[in-house]
A and B are shown apart, each in its own frame.
Chain A
Amino acid sequence: MSSRGHRVGVVTFPGSLDDRDALRAVGFLGGEGVPLWHADPDLHGVDAVILPGGFSYGDYLRTGAIARFAAVMDPIREFAQAGGPVLGICNGFQILCEAGLLPGALIRNRSLRFVCRRVHVRVETSLSAITAGLVAGEVLEVPVKHGEGQFVASPDDLARIEGEGLVLFRYCATDGEVDDGYNPNGSTHAIAGLRNERGNVAGLMPHPEHAVDPDTGPVGGQPLLTSLLEQALVRA
C-alpha cells in the first residue's frame, strides 16, 4: 500500500464508463485509486473523490438526476462540505450540478450532435483543487465526448459565477483566444468547468483522465489530476 494520502476514490454508478480510466490515471500519476460503489455508505477513508464520466442510470430523466440520490452521495456531500477535494468529470460534473454542489446545469449540445474530439481550454483561476499547480491563462489540450455539455445557468447564478471567479476553464483556441468558434457545445460564456466558492469541489466536461499518458494522446489532464493528488495529500 502507498503511504497515507494520495488515496483517491472513484465512484462507479450503474452506467459509469470512465471509472477504470480514472483509476488508471490516478495510479499512472503516483496515487492510489480506490474503487467506490454507488451503494457504499462511506468513502473508505479516501482523501479525494472523483465522480467519473459515463451515462449513470442511462441518463434517464436528466443527466445525473438519479445518480444524485445514490447512497454514496450522502458521504460525498459531507466530505465536500468538510473541504474534501471532489472532482466531477463529464457525467460527474452533471451529477455535481444536479446535487447542487455546483451551480447551473448541463443540457443538450447546441449542435444537437454528440461531440467527440480534442479541445483546448484556458485555465481561469488557480484557486481550486484541480488547478492549484497552474496559472490563469495557461492552455491545456484535453478530449471531450458528450451529447449534453452545454452549460447554462440562471442570470443570477451566472452573475455570481463570473463575479466570484468560479469559472475554472473556458473553451478556447490553441493560443487561449476565447471565441464562439472554439465552443464545442454552445456553453454559456464558453464555460468548460467550474469550482465552488471554497474551491474544493470542481467539475468539468473535458476528460483529464483520458489525457495523462503520452502514449495515447495529449497530456493536458496531467496537471489537473496531479493537483488533485497534492490536495489529497494535504488532507491526509
Chain B
Amino acid sequence: MKYHFEVVVRLKGGLLDPQGKAIEDSLPHMGWTSVSNIRVGKHIELDVEAESEDEAQADVDEIAAQLLSNPVIEEVEVQAASAKGWTRYQAEATS
C-alpha cells in the first residue's frame, strides 16, 4: 500500500529568516505596510510503500529527522495525507 505524506520544515523561532525578510521588505513597495513576521518554510510531499500507515509514518519520521531537517536550526512536522482528509492518493493506492 502506498501512503502519502506532507512534511513541513520551519526555521526555528528567533533565527533570522532571510527569505521572509526579503519578502517583507518588498511589501511596502506594493503599498502593504500592515504585514510583519513573514516566515518561509519548506513543504515536502512524498509517497511511501508500506504494510500500514503507522509503519510508513515511522519511516517518514526518521527521514524527516535525519535528512529533511536540521534540528540545530529547524523544526519539522510530518502529517499523513489521510489525517488531512486527502483522498486522491489513497484512491490511487487502492485502485
Q: A107-B73, A112-B21 are in contact. Are A186 and B16 (CB under 8 A)?
A: yes
Q: In whole angstroms, what is the CA distance A98 to B67 when docked?
A: 9
B15 within 8 A of A: yes
Interface size range of chain B in the complex: 10 to 19
Q: Which residue of A61, A97, A103, A110 has the most chain B CB atoms within 10 A of its CB atom?
A: A61
User: Size band of the A side of the interface?
Assistant: 20 to 34
The contact of B67 among A65, A153, A154, by CB within 8 Å, is A65
Chain A residues with CB under 8 Å of B72's CB are 97, 103-105, 152-154, 157
Contact with B along A150-174 (1 / 0, CB 8 A): 1011100100000000000000000
Q: CB within 8 Å of A: which of B58-76?
A: 67-68, 70, 72-73
In whole angstroms, how far apart are the Cα atoms of A61 and B64 in the complex? 12
Complex partner residue of A107 from B15, B22, B42, CB under 8 angstroms: B15
Contacts of A107 in B (CB 8 A): 11, 15-16, 18, 73
Which residue of the partner chain, among B16, B42, B70, contacts A98 with CB atoms under 8 Å?
B70
For the complex formed, measure the closest distance between the CB of B3 and the CB atoms of chain A, giving whole angstroms. Answer: 22
Whether the pair B67, A69 counts as a contact (CB closer than 8 A) is yes
Q: Is the interface of A mostly helix, strand, loop or mixed?
A: loop
CB distance from B74 to the nearest CB of A (A): 8
| Interface presence of A108 (CB below 8 A) | yes
Report if A62 contacts B (CB, 8 A). Answer: yes
Cα(A181)–Cα(B7), bound, Å: 39
Q: How far is the CB of B63 from chain A (nearest CB, A)?
A: 11
CB closest residue in chain B, given A109? B18
List the interface of chain B (C-beta within 8 A of A): 11, 15-16, 18-19, 21-22, 42, 67-68, 70, 72-73
Known: A61-B42, A65-B67. 8 other contacts (CB 8 A): A61-B67, A61-B68, A62-B70, A66-B67, A104-B72, A107-B18, A108-B16, A112-B18
Chain A interface residues (CB < 8 Å from chain B): 61-62, 65-66, 69, 97-98, 103-105, 107-110, 112, 150, 152-154, 157, 186
